[in-house]
Amino acid sequence: MAGEHYPHVFGASELARLRELVDLRPELIEGEQFETQAQDYADTELLVGGWEMPQLTAGLVARLPKLRAVFYAAGTIKGIVTDSSWERGIRITTAALENAKPTAEFAFAQIILSLKRGWQRMFLMREKRQFLQRDSLVVGTNGSTVGLLALGKIGRLVAMRLRTLDVSVIAYDPFIAPAEAARLGVRVCGLEELFATADVVSCHLPSTEQTQRLLGRALFASLKRGATFINTARGSVVNEPELVAVLRERPDLFAALDVTDREPPPPDDPLFELNNVLLTPHIAGSTALECRRMGRMMVEEVDRYLAGKPLLGEVFQQQLSTMA
């Protein structure tokens, strides 16, 4: 993994436990170094990786003939696994379960602020010194409706947190089992109904072929007066020019975007010009000491692997088409 991330992900206690389980050598290999010197690690059986880990190409896999499993201390593995790694039967487990936690916390905080139109009123105080204590568009956290786009790892955590509020929760997820939705206290509905009904729409869609530019003008234009759209998922699921057009036409709407189609967005991106947009620089996921949970989970996964137990974060090839 990249050296800059290493101390955030693995602390002294995580490394001490890992050394008890395996022969750890060397302690850190930078991604580029690993690609060019993979033959030096030909006896490697288990690989612990993280952000900026190189892809398991056919050439790299061939130079690691004993590799049996990868423990990825981060989220999505789509940029790492290949047909070659699957064909070799290399197992892979990820810390996406732990990385989902701060993202869900961030989305939950944004939902509460959105239901009280907090950002809009903060902007007014800062830019116009306007003390807008009463806002007719505020719905609050009692009796309002929150819509969740997808109930994957993050969406489910958000749904669980929303149970602490007195809100109705609806969701769009064509893959969720009815019993699971009921357990989460969520009513499943179609995209059109969700956008037209929710006071806040929080996006947790994975980036797949089916979701590219899925959210466009018709859906955004159907939002209720004063509604907010939150995206902590992937910018590619939004047709940004169409979102911008609707936001220009509907100043009553608001968008809180932690992700954009281009990252970072260029200086002339029209999103910067809109008063009803909040942009944050992709900070919802794990950062600083939050990353330590991912490292800890991967050490625990190594322990489970060596004991012959099921891996909690293991990903299988057939799951990739519906995952982030």
Which residues form the catalytic set? Answer: 234, 263, 282
The secondary structure of residue 263, as a DSSP letter, is S
C-alpha dist (Å) from residue 151 to 117, 194, 197, 302: 25, 14, 18, 28
The answer to whether the CB of 119 falls within 8 A of the CB of 137 is: no
Return the CA Rg of the chain.
22
Both tokens of residue 113? Answer: 């602020």
Q: Report how far residue 236's alpha carbon sits from residue 151's, in angstroms, rounded to the nearest whole number.
A: 18
Peptide bond between residue 174 and the one before it cis (omega within 30 degrees of 0): no
Phi-psi region of 121 (alpha: psi -120 to 50; beta: other; left: phi over 0): alpha
**Number of CB atoms found within 10 A of residue 204's CB:** 30
Which strand (E) or helix (H) includes residue 145? strand 142-149
Contact yes or no for 92/226 (Cβ under 8 A): no
Using CA atoms, how far apart are residues 75 and 291, in angstroms rounded to an integer?
11
CA dihedral sign of residues 290, 291, 294, 299: negative
CA separation for the pair 70, 277 (Å, rounded): 40
Phi, psi of 91 (to 5 degrees): -80, 150
